[in-house]
Amino acid sequence: MLEVRNLKVAYGAAPALWDVSIRVDTGELVCVVGPNGAGKTTLINTIAGLSRAAGGSIDFHGMDVTRLAPHKFCEAGIAIVPESRRLFTEMTVLENLELGSYLPMARARRRETLEQVCDLFPAVRQKLSMPAGSLSGGQQQMVAIGRALMARPKLLLLDEPSLGLAPSIVMDMFDAIRRINADGLSVLLVEQNVSMAMDIATRAYVLEEGRIVMDGPAHDLMQRPEIRKAYLGLE
């Protein structure tokens, strides 16, 4: 489904990603983990069309999307839940959700998809008429994920969905991500919570200083001593 090959991204003269190659197969949940400043957000923003590649290629469903205009990535079937959610806080929850469904195909099934989002996040159903800024951080994250789902994407990109959330809410959030994937949607998850990301992922990539330094089945990577020491504090 998604094939990223030898991706290079730079901010001016400063390189951010070097020769990064990853893939997400249809129906997979793949995670990218790594420390702060590793380039995780740059990677996911480039796959979403928000940052431009300086080299390499991004293929999605057999189409080279590397040089597409940013809005064309959404038309191709890629939706992103950005870091820090970026909701329109003075608009209602319903208005924020509806913003995700402006492509003709998504608009035609808006009511159906809204019901699916509310089934996934019952707390959202109770808040539809409230300003998004009045919600808790966890509820806002639910709305941000719901907004992306309203586009009816083929690939969902999640950038640090657990950031700033209470531990109990983090568990609920990862359970929702697991259910989204179980319903057949491919997911690329960028996350600092290594143990929980690896627990729900099929495969994983470890990104450090702009390079992929390890990859493989998530369960296998979690058994490697260097991963356990660096990210879990275990000897």
- Tell me: the pLDDT tens digits for 63-121? 999 999 988 999 999 999 998 889 999 999 999 999 999 999 999 999 999 999 999 99
Please, what are the domains in the chain? 2-77+154-232 (3.40.50.300), 89-152 (no CATH)
Backbone angles phi, psi at 33, to 5 degrees: -120, 160
The answer to whether the CB of 132 falls within 8 A of the CB of 93 is yes
In terms of DSSP bridges, do strands 155-159 and 78-81 run parallel, antiparallel, or are they unpaired?
parallel
Q: In a 3-state reduction of DSSP, which class is residue 161? A: coil
Name 131's Cβ contacts closer than 8 Å, sequence gap at least 6: 89, 90, 91, 92, 93
Split at pLDDT 50, 70, 90, the class of 234 is: low
Residue of 136, 140, 156 lying closest to 96 (CA atoms): 140
pTM (two decimals): 0.94
| The predicted structure's pLDDT at residue 193 | 87
Predicted confidence (pLDDT) per residue in 147-206, tens digit: 999 999 999 999 999 988 888 899 999 999 999 999 999 999 999 888 899 999 999 999
| The predicted structure's pLDDT at residue 233 | 60
